[in-house]
Amino acid sequence: MIIPWVLMKDNKMIRTMGVAILIGVLFVSSLVPVCIAGETAYGSVHAWFRASDGMWENATVHPLLRRGEPFDIKIVVTTKTDLKAFFLKLHEIGTPVYEVVEGPTAMEKLFENRQTMISNQFFSYLWKIRIKADTTWVNGYAPLELFVQFNKNDTDESSVNFDVINAFIIDQPWEKDRQENITESFSSPQRHNIVVPGFTFACILIVVVFLSFILRARQQKRKLR
């Protein structure tokens, strides 16, 4: 026969472990980098950034860039329904900072895709862009915004927009293959996403659950003495 007080202790242990797991999940979730994308009922847009000496990163990215420094932008547009056309544009506000070296369209110029499209088609575009060598906007942030509009017909449309990057522009000329450390005076708590490998996530959760179980077991032993 199972004694009621034993069941109560077991239930308390289960609740304690559940709370510990929830705390661990919330903690890990706060460290997960968010992939910024635009999405409507008619389509979705994803964007990536790659520095001249780096790897692809999900937008929105907050890099440190020098005058004249190049980088790449990749945009993937996916349709969710039949479309008549879609349009996209790279946009910046205020003093010009960016210029397109190679790509489907220049800054502030509307790119048009007017071919007939069906649901679940995707289109990938790549730009090589650089910071203007003579830009007067330095020692500050410069957002590079993407605007996309989906047209189901001439009167039915939807649009999205978000920042692909929000770069901090350093008042120094960029030199190819130049390696130097950036002083902390240019650092910003917003400039880097915190990336923790999936294995580390699992370890954190395991440790939290294990510790809660050990502490609960010790408490029960003390009560039984």
Residue with tokens 């069941």: 7
* Model pLDDT for residues 19-38, shown as the tens digit of each residue: 555 455 444 444 334 444 68
Q: Are 143 and 136 in contact (CB under 8 A)?
A: no
User: What sign has the CA pseudo-torsion 60, 62, 64, 68?
Assistant: positive
Above 80 in pLDDT, residue 213? no
State the average pLDDT over residues 176-193.
44
pTM value is 0.63
Virtual CA dihedral for 63, 68, 69, 71, nearest 10 degrees? Answer: 90
Residue with tokens 């034993």: 6
* Model pLDDT for residues 62-113, shown as the tens digit of each residue: 999 999 999 999 999 999 999 999 999 999 988 999 999 999 999 999 999 9
Beta bridge partners of 134: none
* Model pLDDT for residues 101-125, shown as the tens digit of each residue: 999 999 999 999 998 899 999 999 9
